[in-house]
Amino acid sequence: MDTAKNKEFELSGNTGASNIQLMTMALDASNSGVIITDHTQPDNPIIYCNKAFETITGYSRKEIIGHNCRFLQAQDRDQKERETLARCIAEGEECRVEIRNYRKNGDLFWNELYMAPVKNTAGEITNFIGIQNDVTWRKNAEHDLRQQKVVMEQKIKERTRALKESEAFLSSIIETVREGLLVLDPDFNVISANYHFLRTFKVSLEETLGRQLYDLGNHQWDIPKLRDLLIKILPTNNPVVDFEVEHDFPHIGRKLMLLNAYRVEFEGQFKDQILLAIEDITDRREIENRKDDFLSIASHELRTPLTTIKGYVQLLARAMPENASEKFLSTFGKVSVYVERLNTLIGELLDVSRIQTGNMELHMARFDFDTMIAEAVDGMRATVPAHNITLKGKTGASIIADESHIAQVVTNLLSNAIKYAPNSKQIEVNIANVSEYVKVSVKDFGLGMSPEDRKKVFERFYRGVEIQKKFPGMGIGLYICDQIIKNHNGTLWVESEIGKGSVFSFTLPKAGKEEHA
Amino acid sequence: MHKKKILICDDDEGIIDVLEMIMEEVGHEVITVNDSMKVQEIINKEQPDLLILDLWMPRLSGQDVLRQLRNHSDNSNLRVIVISASRDGEQIATAAGADQFIAKPFDLGNIIESVNALLN
């Protein structure tokens, strides 16, 4: 700023006031504190201060004049800005600092101090001028802002870390699962592939990412049926469930893969992505097949000595002395009964093995449903005369099914009802027409089942926890029943409550399975 | 009914024993063999009227014995009853040319009936 010409101003004009008076009034009207020090005297005392300086510092003129300005710093003497001031004073330069000062009452205020030397014609410093502004509010605002920034940065750091942790958590799961996982975009290009996928198919990330699913490997996934299913996923949210692909894959040879695919959902909204899970079930299937073989062989081998036993029993029966005692005859009769029971058990094992290999043959023929049920119930009544088995309802239906298999199911449900209701002699059988089906229900008033048992009761070799202790057996009867009914395109289910009993029901299409397949 | 010669071939001694007892009881002459490799040789030598044959045997299966008998022997018309506990026994037996199939465990009455029916 060029101030050289200020001296030449003639401010007073005709007002009567002197220039000095006007200047002093102007200084007193200022909001900035102004002081002048005399550099020619020892310790540079203040020789002038305006009103604003008094207002800002809280000191009165008489307490200010003659003092060095450092009194404003009170006990706060270690500020860096003091060095700047001392250097500028020593070297006769102007400077601007922000320094902590204290009012007379001890309150801190931030002083933005502009200090400039005044030189005489010889170039010697005679005075210093100090202009002070109280910038406490600005300093506070700046401080708050900095504080705010620190807090924000801290928060961002925390959020970022949480996000990274959850990403690491998820990715460690994705990389650890023993299932190949691919994420596909709507055009079925691979967006990501997990480690297990790469390892299973012995491929690299480079030859997988960005490529279309159907182009991978030797086009093993390019199957019309699979294409159809995948196309429906995004628009309909119909997942692909347990789709089997048997293929001669590059690098790894002939394998059986199980595919499951789902639409990726995030916070209730679906994204345009498909998660494809691929599981190698080659070994599992192999083991299942071996188990089938084992069951077949075991059944065969068990039947061989049984055949001999049965033969000897029959030979003995033929040679039975006429004077044999009652006790001997009844004991002998029991041997035959238990041989037959053993044969039935072995037969069940074979049945299971047949079901598993899909070899259960159905001999479909028309028969009178009510008669078949009545015969099965009568048969059971003869076996357990102490029980009261009631048969309610009639269908009048002539149905097409494998009669011996259905009779086997009814007998099995009845014998279960008897076996698992040791303290109840009451069993109710209900038959009815339901639309194009016949329905059979067998109700007992026995132990009942827990929800867990209800879910698993139709599984192979499953036995209820409590049941296992009280009623030893193989636990395949209901599995066979379920498979027989399923093969007829009917359903078998159970409703049960612990302590109250169970109701096993099944439905069968009257017209046979062909019409319903 | 004349006394007939019946050959029983099974790898299980118990089953041979039971069948032998019942066949002798109803008045037939019985020859037994537990090694299926020797069946053809015995047939050639003894000229039985009927063969009761098991399927699952070590060395040579009943199925192979029967096929061999039907296709490459002078006794291709020999009556054969196949007995087996195998689940596909009936199918195998019929395909190989058995006259009758009886599942194990069998009923002795059933065996006697079938034997008599085939011998008459």
CATH of the domain at B101: 3.40.50.2300
Are residues A315 and A270 both part of a single domain? no
Closest residue by Cα to residue A174 from A148, A192, A153, A158: A192
Top pLDDT among A417 and B19 is at B19
- The reply to whether A353 touches chain B by the CB within 8 Å rule is yes
Are residues A266 and A305 both part of a single domain? no
Show the tokens assigned to A129: 């001028």
Are residues A40 and A127 both part of a single domain? yes
Confidence (pLDDT) at A427: 93
Average pLDDT over residues A284-303: 81
- Of the candidates A356, A385, A404, which is a domain's last residue? A356
Total domains in chain B come to 1
Please list every residue in chain A whose beta carbon sits closer than 8 Å to the beta carbon of residue B107: 310, 314
Confidence (pLDDT) at B15: 94
- Under a CB-based contact definition with an 8 Å cutoff, are residues A200 and A280 in contact? yes
Does the distance separating the beta carbons of B19 and A359 come in below 8 Å?
Answer: no
Within a domain: B93: yes
**Contacts with B113 (C-beta within 8 Å, 6 or more apart), sequence order:** none
- Closest residue in A to B106 (Cα) is A307
Does the distance separating the beta carbons of B106 and A310 come in below 8 Å?
Answer: yes
- The reply to whether B24 touches chain A by the CB within 8 Å rule is no
Are residues A260 and A181 both part of a single domain? yes
Within a domain: A157: no
Show the tokens assigned to A300: 């065969």
Within a domain: A247: yes
Instruction: Determine if the peptide bond prior to B105 is cis (ω within 30°).
Output: yes
pLDDT band at A270 (very low <50, low <70, confident <90, very high): low
Beta bridge partners of A98: A112
- Under a CB-based contact definition with an 8 Å cutoff, are residues B16 and B36 in contact? no
pLDDT band at A194 (very low <50, low <70, confident <90, very high): very high
Are residues A275 and A306 both part of a single domain? no
Within a domain: A172: no
DSSP reduced 3-state for B60: coil
Within a domain: B28: yes
Q: How far apart are CA A304 and CA A293, in angstroms?
A: 17
A190-193 and A180-184 strand pairing: antiparallel
Within a domain: B62: no
Within a domain: B33: yes
CA max distance for chain B: 36
Within a domain: A300: yes
- CATH classification of the domain holding A103: 3.30.450.20
Give Cα separations from A145 to A142, B47, B73 (angstroms). Answer: 5, 115, 109
Mean residue pLDDT of chain A comes to 86
- Closest residue in A to B107 (Cα) is A311
Within a domain: A350: yes
Within a domain: B117: no
Within a domain: A124: yes
Domain span at B9 = 5-54+67-106
Are residues A415 and A505 both part of a single domain? yes
- Closest residue in A to B10 (Cα) is A304
- Closest residue in B to A309 (Cα) is B14
Q: Which of A307, A309, A339 sits opposite B85 (nearest CB)?
A: A307
pLDDT band at A348 (very low <50, low <70, confident <90, very high): confident
What is the CB neighbour count within 10 angstroms for residue A194? 20
Within a domain: A143: no
Are residues A509 and A427 both part of a single domain? yes
- Under a CB-based contact definition with an 8 Å cutoff, are residues A80 and A98 in contact? no
Domain span at A252 = 177-280
The alpha-carbon gap from A301 to the nearest alpha carbon of chain B, in Å, equals 8
Are residues A322 and A446 both part of a single domain? no
Is pLDDT above 90 for A21?
Answer: no
- The reply to whether B106 touches chain A by the CB within 8 Å rule is yes
Average pLDDT over residues B110-117: 93
- The reply to whether A361 touches chain B by the CB within 8 Å rule is no
- Closest residue in A to B89 (Cα) is A300
Characterise A18 by phi-psi region: left (phi > 0), alpha (psi -120 to 50), beta (else).
beta
Are residues A124 and A35 both part of a single domain? yes
pTM reported for the whole predicted model: 0.51
Q: Which of B25, B106, B109 sits opposite A307 (nearest CB)?
A: B106
Are residues A393 and A268 both part of a single domain? no
Within a domain: B60: no
- Under a CB-based contact definition with an 8 Å cutoff, are residues A419 and A341 in contact? no
Does the distance separating the beta carbons of A318 and B108 come in below 8 Å?
Answer: yes
- Of the candidates A264, A280, A296, which is a domain's last residue? A280
Confidence (pLDDT) at A342: 85
Within a domain: B116: no
Cα separation of the two ends of chain A: 101
Total domains in chain A come to 4
Are residues A126 and A81 both part of a single domain? yes
Please list every residue in chain A whose beta carbon sits closer than 8 Å to the beta carbon of residue B17: 308
Ranked by mean pLDDT, the top range of A215-219, A262-266, A390-394, A509-513 is A390-394
Please list every residue in chain B whose beta carbon sits closer than 8 Å to the beta carbon of residue A354: 87
Does the distance separating the beta carbons of B104 and A303 come in below 8 Å?
Answer: yes
Within a domain: A203: yes
Does the distance separating the beta carbons of A315 and B25 come in below 8 Å?
Answer: yes
**Contacts with A269 (C-beta within 8 Å, 6 or more apart), sequence order:** none
Is pLDDT above 70 for A114?
Answer: yes
- Of the candidates A296, A325, A356, which is a domain's last residue? A356
Cα separation of the two ends of chain B: 9
Are residues A304 and A387 both part of a single domain? no
Confidence (pLDDT) at A516: 39
